[in-house]
Each structure stands twice: as C-alpha cells, then as structure tokens.
C-alpha cells in the first residue's frame, strides 16, 4: 500500500503549551488516550509496519490499523480501520499527527485522509469527533484535566445510514479500476 492514494479530507490544527515529547507521549500511550480519546486505550508497536489498535472501555477493539510512519516526537501516521458493524467493510483511512515546536509551544496538526470519494455524511463522524478529542488532549496537557463531555458522544445519526449505503454500493471498487 502506498500513502499517495490517500487524499486529505479533514484537517484539525491546535496549539498546545507543552513540549513535543509530552504531546508525543499523549498520542501514543494508553494512560493518556484513555483520558481524552472516548475512554480508549491505544495499543501501538513503536515502529513502521507495527500494529495499531484502540481498545474500548469494555475490552473490545473498535479501531485497528498499522503504523506507516513512527518518527518521535515529530510525526505519527497510522492506517485507521473501524472494526464496528458495517464500518468494518469501509476502506481504511490514514490518520497523521504532525508535531512542530513553536516558540515554547507545539503546533499539532491532525490529518484524516481517504482512498475513496467519501461522502460528507461519513466524514461528519471525524469532523464531530476530532475537535472534541484534540480539545480534550490540549486541556489534559495544559491543566491535567480532559474535557468531560467526550464520554457521552456517539456517531452522528446520518453517518450510520451513509455507511450502510456505501457498504451496499461499494463505490471504491469502481474507483480502483478507473
């Protein structure tokens, strides 16, 4: 698989009063992710080609993928497959975090890229989730406390219908042969 066929669809940028090493640790260790990432523990092998997964509080995994780039404390890129109901039939996306030191703070850029022409109704899930996840990460590093509302939020209702529709039609197959 090459990264080049993935097209960025959602970008979220924030600035955090922390060191690149602190932000890297928050992105890659379960003791942090469970506090800001909807209660999920990250499990990640620290090398390109390694495995990556997110474990829900009930012990099941709902995100699985592989490490594409492991460059601490600058860049982390993972494939992102949602292992939940119909979502598991969708092509994987690619999630990349870039960390840039900037005058004693850090610029954190999250990019979600896709290898097919994803409808906005499906992108809505990430566009709802990332601002909350990354706002919570920023609060956790700056104040020691995450954003509490994140525990209650589920995917937007239109998203589930759009995923069912996409899985029935599988438009990415036609795109691959074009």
- Least separation in angstroms between residue 137's CB and another protein is 11
- Least separation in angstroms between residue 72's CB and another protein is 23
Please report whether residue 102 would count as binding another protein according to CB under 8 A: yes
Segment lying near another protein (by CB under 8 A), choices 50-58, 73-81, 100-108, 115-123? 100-108
Residue pair 129/135 in contact by the 8 Å Cβ criterion: no
- Least separation in angstroms between residue 101's CB and another protein is 11
Q: Residue 44: count other Cβ atoms within 10 Å of its Cβ.
A: 21
Q: According to DSSP H, which parts of the chain are helical?
A: 20-28, 30-36, 120-143, 157-169, 171-177
Segment lying near another protein (by CB under 8 A), choices 23-31, 42-50, 103-111, 160-168? 103-111
Rounded-to-integer distance, Cα 60 and Cα 105, Å: 35
Rounded-to-integer distance, Cα 55 and Cα 111, Å: 21
What residue ranges bind another protein (CB under 8 A)?
13-17, 102-105, 131-132, 135-136, 138-139, 142-143, 145, 147-150, 152
């Amino acid at each position: 698989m090459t990264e080049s066929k993935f097209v960025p669809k959602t970008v979220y940028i924030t600035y955090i009063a922390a060191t690149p090493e602190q932000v890297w640790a928050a992105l890659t260790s379960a003791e942090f992710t469970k506090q800001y990432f909807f209660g999920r523990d990250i499990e990640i092998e620290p090398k390109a080609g390694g495995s990556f997964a997110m474990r829900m509080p009930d012990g099941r995994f709902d995100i699985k993928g592989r490490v594409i780039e492991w460059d601490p404390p600058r860049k982390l890129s993972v494939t992102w497959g949602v292992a939940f109901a119909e979502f598991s039939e969708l092509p994987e996306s690619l999630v990349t975090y870039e960390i840039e030191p900037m005058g004693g703070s850090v610029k954190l850029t999250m990019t979600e890229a896709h290898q097919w022409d994803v409808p906005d109704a499906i992108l809505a899930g990430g566009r709802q989730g990332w601002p909350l996840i990354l706002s919570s990460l920023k609060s956790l590093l700056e104040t020691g406390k995450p954003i509490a509302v994140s525990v209650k939020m589920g995917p937007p209702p239109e998203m589930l219908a759009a995923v069912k529709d996409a899985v029935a039609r599988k438009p990415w197959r036609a795109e691959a042969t074009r």
